[in-house]
Structure 1
């Protein structure tokens, strides 16, 4: 399926009033599809699988800003540390440590978003607020050694439901936690500013509730075939 350029342009227009950015989720999609969207001016692409991201980065233009948005295992960090711009789903202190270690090996600073679990589904990854504050307390104490990571904000996925009020309530919860974290840990830092919330089905609500980055795939690229 070709890129849905009408949907792409509509999403870009919708982002303008909110000063938000689009992460085009290109997982399982061929290089040709990414090149087509790149030709339209899109530069931020999100991938979920490490090997697929490594393969695509090697053959696509080097001014692409690659975001890793899937669940990341610590033993896979080393493969993307040389080039990844932002890692959206940091859900443990162990993972944050490993990203820092691998980024420093390449004299880089990788943007990291801490993943909150706000959805009703237990299958989704992410930290509850207690785990989040424990991670941040530990990070704060060890901050001088964290030259390889920049905690740039929060990421969360809402419940997969048709109940828009529930989705809105969950995104509002992210805002409340974000404001608390910003005040307590990052009051003097301007880089803690991202809220990566909202996907194809709920990005309108996410934008209304303060999302700065929306992650959209199927709306732009069509449904995915995982059997390829």
Structure 2
């Protein structure tokens, strides 16, 4: 067995059964993705649209591609006909664009709303007021080509595990609140939080989807 498939197997064994592992393959060659695919893995995440479309073209068609990076509205059209899940929906304008483009290709696209939970300013994401505006809007009810299936968040990059824990807890609390309310086009079943450095903490706090790159593929290629 290869190093990549060994890492994958070890990781999967350590995760709860209900937790989806998104193998983050950004900057890695298609051959690495193929190795993980041949070991039985189907969920892969990319940060950049260009890299995502390139790999999707080269690699097997049953791969479930996750767009996990910041997505610009003018790039949506390049991924709508194949993307499995868009993690980083951080504005209502972006959601509307995804719906419009999905309609053109006759698809319903699953999306996660990205919340700003970190104390760093550099992270993208919605605040609570923006989230409420989206969920309670008449427009959302009329969007037939998207489905909001959960939330995504990135914790602060810090050694302070208590802070990271607090940030994950705040996202889980929000997730539960929405899950227990009644919104059209919203079906809260995915909480995407946790990366290579903090996924264990994220799982303890209720994550059921983790985005892991370096722990599978080794450190990132620059």
* Equivalent residue number for residue 208 of structure 2: 212
Matched residue of 1:207: which SS?
helix
Is this contact kept in 1: 2:141–2:185, CA < 8 A? no
Does the 8 Å CA contact 2:179/2:187 hold for their aligned counterparts? no
**Aligned residue number for residue 162 of structure 1:** 159
Pick closer, same or farther for the CA change 1:68–1:15 going to 2, 3 Å. Answer: same
Q: Counterpart in 1 of 2:129?
A: 130
Q: Deviations over 1:114-156 (max 9, x none)?
A: 0001111100000111111112122xx1244311101000000
Shift of 1:190: 8.3
Report the counterpart of residue 153 of structure 1 in structure 2. 150
Q: Residue 162 of structure 1: CA displacement? A: 1.1
**Candidates 183, 187, 198, aligned match of 1:191:** 187
Larger RCO (CA under 8 A, 6+ residues apart): 1
Shift of 1:3: 4.3
Task: State the partner residue of 1:110.
Answer: 109
- Note the residue ranges of structure 2 that are not aligned, 5 or more in a row: none
Gaps of 5+ in 1: none
For 2:211 and 2:3, the matched residues in 1 are separated by 16
Contact 1:3-1:37 within 8 A present in 2 as well: no
TM-score (norm 2): 0.95
Tell me the TM-score normalized by structure 1: 0.92
Q: May I ask how many residue pairs the two structures share in their alignment?
A: 221
**Aligned residues of 1:3 and 1:222 also touching (Cα < 8 A):** no
Query: Are residues 80 and 91 of structure 1, via their aligned partners in 2, closer, same or farther at CA, if it must alter by over 3 Å?
Result: same
Q: Distance in 2 between matches of 1:3 and 1:74?
A: 37
The alpha-carbon deviation at position 168 of structure 1 amounts to 1.0
Compute the RMSD of aligned alpha carbons.
1.6
